[in-house]
Amino acid sequence: MIDFHTFENVVLEDVAEYGRAKAHHIYPAGTSTLQISATRGQIGFLFEDSEVATKNVAIIPSAGINPRYFNIVLHKNIDEFMRKYATGINIKESEVGKFPIQLHNIETQDAIVKMIDFVEMQENQVQQDINNLTSLKQTLLNQMMI
């Protein structure tokens, strides 16, 4: 049953494996990344197996957690985490485990991911429309000045 109001507050170390990224190591799709060196709280997501820069922590959620949902929660809570645990422009790797996570049931996780994906798809379409209109405007202006 989808219920946006019922969730469990946990910390990252209880629901995910994490560690400083190793050079030349291939991480699986679904891994989230958090930049901890010279950071402003940049969070990434691997849509396919790939390497992760060594200035990042690679975070792999436990089984039963939608990896995309997990990444969305990281984005939602990064400002709170940075205010509490950032030391200058860096974050200590040991502090990453204290990252707050709200954990919904799997049906709700999947529903949240579908909604966010839909919004991102719409955003990309609107951005493409803006780019097309900007290009058309430039073309028309150039033709007017001939």
Q: What's the confidence (pLDDT) of residue 145?
A: 76
Q: Residue 1: inside a domain, yes or no?
A: no
What is the phi/psi pair of residue 20, to 5°?
-60, 135
Q: State how far the alpha carbon of 67 is from the alpha carbons of 35, 45, 64, 125, in Å.
A: 18, 9, 9, 24
Q: Residue 18: inside a domain, yes or no?
A: yes
**Band of the pLDDT at 88, cuts 50, 70, 90?**
confident
Q: Residue 2: inside a domain, yes or no?
A: no
51 pLDDT above the threshold of 90: yes
Average pLDDT, the chain: 95
Q: What's the confidence (pLDDT) of residue 18?
A: 96
Q: Residue 27: inside a domain, yes or no?
A: yes
Q: Residue 3: inside a domain, yes or no?
A: no
The enclosing domain of 59 has a CATH number of 3.90.220.20
Q: Which domain holds residue 98?
A: 8-144
Helical segments of 32-105, H only:
67-85
Can you tell me the mean pLDDT for 19-33?
96
Q: What's the confidence (pLDDT) of residue 34?
A: 96
Q: What's the confidence (pLDDT) of residue 132?
A: 98
146 pLDDT above the threshold of 90: no
Q: Please tell me the total count of domains within the chain.
A: 1
Query: pTM of the full predicted structure?
Result: 0.87
